[in-house]
Amino acid sequence: MQRAQTLVKENKTLKLIYGPVPSWRLGRSLGIDLICSDEKICSFDCIYCQLGRTKKLSVNRNKFVSTSDLERELKVALDRVEFDVITFSGTGEPTLAKNLASAVKIVRKITDIPLAILTNSSLMFDSEVRNELLKFDIVIAKLDAHNSELFRRINRPSSELNFDYIIEGIRKFQYLFYDGKLCLQIMFINDNKKYAKEIAELARSLHPSEVQINTPLRQNPIKPLNPKEILDISNHFKGLNVRTIYESMKPDVKILDKEDVLKRRTVLL
């Protein structure tokens, strides 16, 4: 009984770390959230986002939380649960965190478990951000459109962002001789499904290690595409290493704190 009470107390002291969550792309994924905001802070306001509208649209990198407790929290997680990968994600765009590099350094000191990051690609035009992304084993970068018009319709970015600069940033990242795994995550909905061929051509030119074809199954105002539609879309990506949401399995996981995960994911899938 005393041990159980201690574990509950430990869970409630975790701020930066959450999960693990069952990921169809990464397996058992332990999350690190360097934003930790009650309201999402992001450079995009994607129409399908599970966290709702972006009230704090920003492209400015800031220190949102101190990483001083990260070592302690990660050691709690390592002692409590099993996971396959540590993923930087959470309540906003992780590359907005100015202390991203120092957080990675802390994690690398403690464990050699692979590190991944889910990024919307918006700051990849920034050479400092690209150099920080080199420190990850897996970089999952968003690509939902093939031109600026569709990009603005679906991702509703900050007015300070330029689609062509973002694409060029992804290209430059590959030129840095990144020896990890660069994945392109593409969220298909009714608005962009008819442009699957054009998006596939752009994806092909970026030479990703993997293309992840997704549709919004979590709670949000946008209707997901069905398995037949996703299959038809994936046919445009032949020749690339493709994974789709409907064909991939999610693992069973033991979660540190379900309530804490739901703040960042709305539902457990």
pLDDT tens-digit profile of 207-266?
999 999 999 998 778 999 999 999 999 999 999 999 999 998 776 666 665 555 545 444
Question: Are 43 and 94 contacting, i.e. CB atoms less than 8 angstroms apart?
Answer: no
Q: How far apart are CA 155 and CA 188, in angstroms?
A: 12
pLDDT at residue 83 is higher than 80: yes
pLDDT at residue 269 is higher than 50: no
Strands 17-23 and 27-32, how do they pair? antiparallel
Question: Are 182 and 173 contacting, i.e. CB atoms less than 8 angstroms apart?
Answer: yes
Fold category of 2-247 in CATH? TIM Barrel (3.20.20)
pLDDT at residue 173 is higher than 80: yes
pLDDT at residue 36 is higher than 70: yes
List the one residue out of 162, 139, 141, 146 whose CA is nearest residue 202: 146
Least confident of 6-15, 69-78, 81-90, 121-130: 6-15
Query: What is the per-residue pLDDT for 106?
Result: 98
Query: What is the per-residue pLDDT for 161?
Result: 98
Q: CB within 8 A of 167, min separation 6: which ones?
A: 202, 206
Q: Where are the domains of the chain?
A: 2-247
pTM of the predicted model over 0.95: no
Q: How far apart are CA 19 and CA 260, in angstroms?
A: 8
Q: List, for residues 104-124, the tens digit of each pLDDT value.
A: 999 999 999 999 999 999 999
Task: Quickly count: other Cβ atoms within 10 Å of residue 223's Cβ.
Answer: 11
Q: How far apart are CA 86 and CA 136, in angstroms?
A: 10
Q: What is the rounded average pLDDT for all residues in the chain?
A: 89
